[in-house]
Structure 1
């Protein structure tokens, strides 16, 4: 659809009074799953989608022309989590994937929105869309508006006078974003974002008019200018992810947005590790990630020997660890994953390996525990800079797969696809491993906090 559609259909707008966000709590829902008669197929899809996302996070596409955005967006994992936000005047409620691995906030938009390859089980047959012409506060962002440069590093504004904004009617060029298994395209709007008793005016949001493989929009919570935390001026945000129930989407947990400042060190039992500085060279897409300093991984209390260059984050964004709410299963590069997997295999020699399930799902190691009344598996723990230790509950790193009494390690690696994922972060801490942890992104003090908590 051409941009002229919006110029004709969007009207002039009434100003609204904005007020500062202090502290807001929102419900956080699991993104609907794709049900299957064979539960192992769900894990196969989750493993595959986690790998697709990992490949994109490690190698986001670069702009090829003036119409291609340099803002990274990523595919929905079936195991993602969504929030409902209200945009426009009067408000329109839209469900979006909460994603700490990207920054742009965008919506399925207009009553002619087209989404190809978006048929997913348990999703409504008609995707809820935002209608700009039904909102008195919608307006297109101009090409010379500084917010246009959030999605285009050098927007083509050739028709605009070099020194005058008032006489420039050219809109910000459309964004067209490629990612993993899909894409999205649209125009950038200025809108009102409505919270209970709060209104945030002039919020930049993408109005996508075409997508592939995208059953919902994205609420980017990354570190870029266009992200929701940056636009709201948040000092911190926090969430607690309800346990994955791969056939249950009815439960929810809370996402808290807070502009009052970070908590005191050690308050409420939180362990903190620094959020590392953004990469200074290399792909600009890496700059939106939350890098943390993972120093070692232990299995059964024993430190796994991992080459330091994979644990260390380089100034170009390569290596190191990021925390990503949009990835389902944690990803580890082969040089990290292999010693971890070997240690589990060495310590769990008392269970028979389930090679057939490993082949079907791409997860390994898998063990046949059909004859067991209880499970005995080694502890997996992540140890971060600053002394923060994350000892995972068993359900966060092993799961029953299928109906055969088989359990598999829910971590993926690049070997499953047959080609290595070089460059980018070596470890992507996914939401399956974040279950039943309270997580705090303290943006003011640049630190990441966590504690075990029943969500």
Structure 2
């Protein structure tokens, strides 16, 4: 065969197989991933997510920590709105973002339908301008989750990045996400934990972070809060799989039970239906009360009528254990002898029976807070008789529980304590791998 004919046939063979090769390519990333840190240096424990800020020009990497808020309508952080960095991408403005004008639809929509609301918030006026620019920049109210104060920020277009993951490992590849956020003055962060300079919204609002994620990552996000400030938890964006050490071949989805996520008027947060609370065979019906999930409240809050019944049942179920004096903010405490674990006290589980019949089991590691060398207290708070929600599930009860917010099917997947599965939220492998 002539040499040039052989070359033509080889080329034709390559072309005929190229579509097949392309069709067989599988995207190595099934999710985006970020570390979660517990902060105990604020008035109450809070949890932050760390992300790399995307920039227009080459400058050193900027990493920021944002408080995780699954109820907030939009993200805000300590930054500067700079018009020049929007019209001139060569502007080397470190930490600058790009403004939303008062005339844009996003401005009107956020301020009328998706804003922070509090009696302490002042009326908004279209008078915010930048030096040398006549256009009005969109002012919005933001609410400090630490001290409850309201302040004004400027709405902007921002960029955030997360590492790609296959559910068990992280890779050097970054996904860039453009979203609407707001720049707040530094005074709004004085009460924040050290090295935290923003609030990242993960609510159902169309201006919260999940709404801006690329497919398939916007379908779900998973939260795994650590129980210690010395170890990182993990947050996933994407519908799985998810793995934790030492069982690196066990998909955490196999541990999950599911219950519907419910809508609630005038809230962007996530709600579930708790039908009853069961402690050692005793139960109370709470089906007419709303149950909210919160990453801002440290401990579960119960409306007064529910709280009193739960404490009474828990008191009966622990009659064989010595009582201790109450330690604020807790009312019911037990003696926990030095050197003895909570497990040795034989604390009964608190079972939340949910809509659909599934049971969220709250074991002693999530129900009892050690407050001294020999005292442990029931980690629930009396919310008073006029509490808006019957139950608000706080972060202490979420620690070392794997929670999957399925945004497509509007359901919550929950594992109960991972400690019973011989793992914890601190066991994700954050070692970066090359492809």
What is the TM-score when the length of structure 1 is the normalising length?
0.66
Q: 1:189 and 1:257 mapped to 2: Cα distance?
A: 23
SS at match of 1:138: strand
Deviations 1:35-94 (A, max 9, x none): xxxxxxxxxxxxxxxxxxxxxxxxxxxxxxxxxxxxxxxxx7632211112224155211
Q: Secondary structure at the match of 1:153?
A: helix
Q: Distance in 2 between matches of 1:158 and 1:26?
A: 37
Q: Decide whether aligned partners of structure 1 residues 158 and 206 sit closer, same or farther in structure 2, where only a CA change above 3 A counts.
A: closer
CA distance in structure 1 between the aligned counterparts of 2:263 and 2:104, rounded to whole angstroms: 28
Match of 1:363 among 330, 347, 363: 330
Does 1:228 pair with 2:209? yes
Q: CA deviation at 1:241?
A: 1.8
The match for 2:409 is: 445
Contact residue 236 and residue 261 of structure 1 kept, 8 A: no
SS class of match (2:236): strand
1:29 to 34, 37, 58: 37
- Residue from 210, 214, 223 that aligns with 1:239: 223
CA separation in 1, counterparts of 2:160 and 2:104?
Answer: 19
In the alignment, is the contact (CA less than 8 A) between 1:137 and 1:192 conserved in 2?
A: no
Q: Pick from 241, 246, 255: which aligns with 2:235?
A: 255
1:271 counterpart = 2:257: yes
Match runs of 1:247-396 below 5 Å: 249-258=229-238, 268-279=254-265, 284=266, 287-303=267-283, 305-306=284-285, 308=286, 311-312=287-288, 319-355=289-325, 358=326, 360-370=327-337, 373=340, 374-396=344-366
Deviation of the 1:182 alpha carbon: 3.8
Which residue is equivalent to 1:172? Answer: 138
Q: Identify if the C-alpha distance between structure 1 residues 158 and 140 changes in structure 2 by more than 3 Å, giving closer, same or farther.
A: closer
Aligned equivalent of 2:381: 412
Q: Contact conserved, 2:37 with 2:233, CA < 8 A, in 1?
A: yes
Give per-residue Cα distances to partners, 1:5-30, cap 9 Å, x unaligned: xxxxxxxxxxxxxxxx9620111111
Does structure 2 retain, via aligned residues, the 8 Å contact 1:88–1:136? no
Higher relative contact order (CA 8 A, sep 6+): 1
Shift of 1:251: 0.7
Aligned to 1:190: 157
1:150 Cα deviation after fit: 4.5
Q: Does 1:151 find its partner at 2:110?
A: yes
Structure 2: which 5+ runs fail to align? 1-28, 82-90, 114-123, 163-172, 243-251, 425-435
Root mean square deviation, CA, Å: 3.1
Secondary structure of the structure 2 residue equivalent to 1:148: helix
Q: Assess, with a 3 A threshold, how the Cα gap between structure 1 residues 371 and 96 changes in structure 2: closer, same or farther.
A: closer
8 Å contact from structure 1 (residues 81, 98) kept in 2: yes
Instruction: List structure 1 runs of 4+ shifted beyond 3 angstroms.
Output: 154-159, 176-180, 259-262
1: CA distance, partners of 2:301 / 2:236: 26
- 3-state DSSP class of the match of 2:345? coil
In structure 1, C-alpha distance between the alignment counterparts of 2:92 and 2:104, rounded to whole Å: 21
Cα distance, 1:335 vs structure 2: 1.0
Q: Take 2:256 and 2:78, find their aligned partners in 1: how far apart are those partners? A: 37
Choose 1 or 2 for highest CA Rg. Answer: 2
**In 2: Cα distance, 1:369 partner to 1:136 partner:** 49
Deviations 1:100-128 (A, max 9, x none): 122321112249xxxxxxxxxxxxxxxxx
- Equivalents in 2 of 1:372, 1:197: separation in Å? 46
Distance 2:377 2:261 in 1: 31
Structure 1, 85-94 or 221-230: larger mean CA deviation: 85-94
Q: Find the counterpart in structure 2 of residue 141 from structure 1.
A: 100
**Does the CA contact (< 8 Å) of 1:440 and 1:449 recur in 2?**
yes
* 3-state secondary structure, aligned to 1:431: coil
Cα distance change, pair 352–25 in 1 and its aligned pair in 2 (3 A): same
Partner SS for 2:276: strand
Distance (whole Å) between structure 2 residues aligned to residue 448 and residue 79 of structure 1: 24
Q: CA deviation at 1:226?
A: 1.8
